[in-house]
Structure formats: C-alpha cells, structure tokens
Amino acid sequence: MFNTLQFHLDNQGKATLSNLSRWAKVLGTINIVLGSFNGFLSIPLLFGNNGLGIIALPSLIMSGILLYMGLQLTGASSKLQFAILNESDQAFSDALDRIQKFFFLSATLYLLGIFMILMMVGLGFMPGTGVQELVPENSGTISI
C-alpha cells in the first residue's frame, strides 16, 4: 500500500489533462449560465400572485444544484491547471474529487428526471386525469 497518491505524467498525459481542464471549464460555465437563467426566471414566479409559486420552488432548487455543479467543474478545472503546472498530487486528487461530485449529482438528477417523467406519464394514463378538453362530455352515441 502507498501512503500518498502519486501521478507521473508524460507530455501526452499533461496534454490530456489540459484538454480535460478546458472542457470542464466549458461545461461548468454552461451549468452556471443555465442555473442562473433558470433562477432569474423562477424568482418572479415565486413572488407573483399568479399561483405559480409551486413551480418556482423546485425550479429554484434545480437552479442551485446546477450552479453548484458548475462551480464544482470550474473548480476542478482550476485544480487541474494547478496540478499540471506545479505537479501537485493533492491538487489532482482534489480535482478528481470535484469531478466525482459532478458525476454523482448528474446521475442523481437524471434518475430523478426519469422517475418524474414516468410518474407523469403514469398519472396521465389514469382514467379521469386526462386533459378535459380532449375527453368528450357525452360518451353516449357518436354519429359520423
């Protein structure tokens, strides 16, 4: 067993980590922008008198999660750049930890989304829960 984490990289390994750092920064920035956009759109719904506050709360929670995920990736990008320049094993380990948090949150959100979609589809097929405009009021005789 090793007491420390040690990584030895050649030039190709450093180039690969540099590319990973750039793409982590791009994806992190996209998450931050999406989270901010979602949050800015949700705040008026929360304080408006239009009855959409129930939609705003989950949307704000999702905004916070997207922002957190974006910050994890941009932080990982910075740690990777520091690890490459200073050959720091600790910074590389910290970057991997942040990337792992991003993937865990992504997988959790995907599974939650799939569950919610399946639940909505299941509820949509229940009798009497469909859109009322599409359900005929008089289901007696139909003449063509």
In a domain, 21, yes or no: yes
The set of residues, in sequence order, having a beta carbon less than 8 Å from that of 101 and lying 6+ positions away, is 72
Tens digits of per-residue pLDDT, 56-100?
888 888 899 999 999 999 999 999 999 888 888 888 889 999 999
Range of the domain at 105: 11-124
In a domain, 138, yes or no: no
Mean pLDDT of the chain: 83
For residues 144 and 134, what is the distance between their CA atoms, to the nearest angstrom?
18
Residue 55 has pLDDT above 90, yes or no: no
Q: What's the one-letter identity of residue 6? A: Q
In a domain, 57, yes or no: yes
Residue 142 has pLDDT above 70, yes or no: no
43 within 8 A of 56, measured Cβ to Cβ: yes
In a domain, 18, yes or no: yes
Residue 2 has pLDDT above 60, yes or no: no
In a domain, 135, yes or no: no
Q: Residue 59 belongs to what H/E stretch? A: helix 53-86
In a domain, 139, yes or no: no
Angle between the 53-86 and 11-47 helix axes, to the nearest 10 degrees?
160
The domain tally of the chain equals: 1
The predicted structure's pLDDT at residue 53: 73
Q: Quote the DSSP letter at residue 10.
A: -
Angle between the 89-124 and 53-86 helix axes, to the nearest 10 degrees?
160
In a domain, 70, yes or no: yes
Where residue 121 falls among pLDDT bands split at 50, 70, 90? confident
In a domain, 87, yes or no: yes
Give the CATH number for residue 16.
1.20.58
The predicted structure's pLDDT at residue 82: 92
Tens digits of per-residue pLDDT, 11-24?
888 888 899 999 99
The predicted structure's pLDDT at residue 25: 95
What is the average pLDDT across 27-34?
95
The answer to whether the Cα torsion of 49, 55, 56, 57 is positive or negative is positive
Residue 44 has pLDDT above 70, yes or no: yes
For the question of whether the overall pTM of this predicted structure is more than 0.85, the answer is no
Distance between start and end Cα atoms, the chain: 81
The set of residues, in sequence order, having a beta carbon less than 8 Å from that of 60 and lying 6+ positions away, is 39, 42, 43, 46
